[in-house]
Amino acid sequence: MSVIWHDLECGTYAADMPLWRELAEHHDDPVLDIGAGTGRIALDLARRGHRVTALDRDPVLIAELIRRAAGLPVSTVVADARAFELDERFPLIIVPMQTIQLLGGERGRREFLDRARRQLAPGGAVAIAITETLELYSSDDGLPVPVPDIRELDGIVYSSQPTAVREVADGFVLERLRETIGSHGERSTEQDLIRLDRLSAETLEREGAASGLALVERRVVRATADHVGSVVVVLGG
């Protein structure tokens, strides 16, 4: 079930893809994709001839990525981004879709940045996507909410409805209502909550410097009708 929800809520996002392709073309292989999920970016880069290592802490998502990657130059690692150690160094490490804002604050980011610096090849880059601000809303207040993500699979309809973005101490909580409707009309619902740490580009650059990573550039991925925009902070060793 986690594969279906992951693909439904994340798999169709493509606004950032041109940037990852550009960075991969500019750097040598292999590419390390942090928080790879079912392979949205890793598989795209591999189809373009890049050798990619895909890392995610969810073994179910990684198993699906392996199935989809048949014949492609993709290797996989099940590990936490804060506690991994690999046998090779990478000219490019990418951290898409605000993954770094899921690591539990400054300590978690520092643990990742220290790991990334050790895994980075000389002259390489770590490119990290963040969202600095989010527009707050709640369906409880009668405000407009985004349309749900919907998919039908094997006679079951899956719907993921964003219901709120709330501000909390040091971050934001994204709320969704997940609903399934079976072929005979049976329904199930559950609430899904994601907490994003508050993070600015300046803060990330400062934390990167403390881990021995210097700012190379900032890039921008513009917002779409369905997704927030992001700042991509590119750091070098």
Q: Could you tell me which residues are beta bridge partners of residue 108?
A: none
Contact, 156 vs 183, CB < 8 A?
yes
Q: Going residue by residue through the chain, which has 237 residues, state the pLDDT in tens, using 9 for 90 and above.
A: 799 999 999 988 999 999 999 999 999 999 999 999 999 999 999 999 999 999 999 999 999 999 999 999 999 999 999 999 999 999 999 999 999 999 999 999 999 999 999 999 999 999 999 999 999 999 887 777 888 999 999 999 999 999 999 999 999 999 999 999 998 889 999 999 999 999 999 999 999 999 999 999 999 999 988 789 999 999 998
List the domain boundaries for the chain.
2-132+199-236, 137-196
Report how far apart, in Å, the C-alpha atoms of 220 and of each of 49, 132, 204, 227 are: 25, 12, 15, 14
CATH of domain 2-132+199-236: 3.40.50.150
Rounded Cα distance between 182 and 153, Å, is 10
Report how far apart, in Å, the C-alpha atoms of 214 and of each of 83, 210, 232 are: 22, 9, 14
Non-local (6+) Cβ contacts of 78 within 8 A are 55, 56, 57, 58, 59, 62
Q: pTM of this prediction? A: 0.95
Report how far apart, in Å, the C-alpha atoms of 196 and of each of 20, 150, 193 are: 22, 24, 10
CA 120, distance to chain mean position in Å, is 19
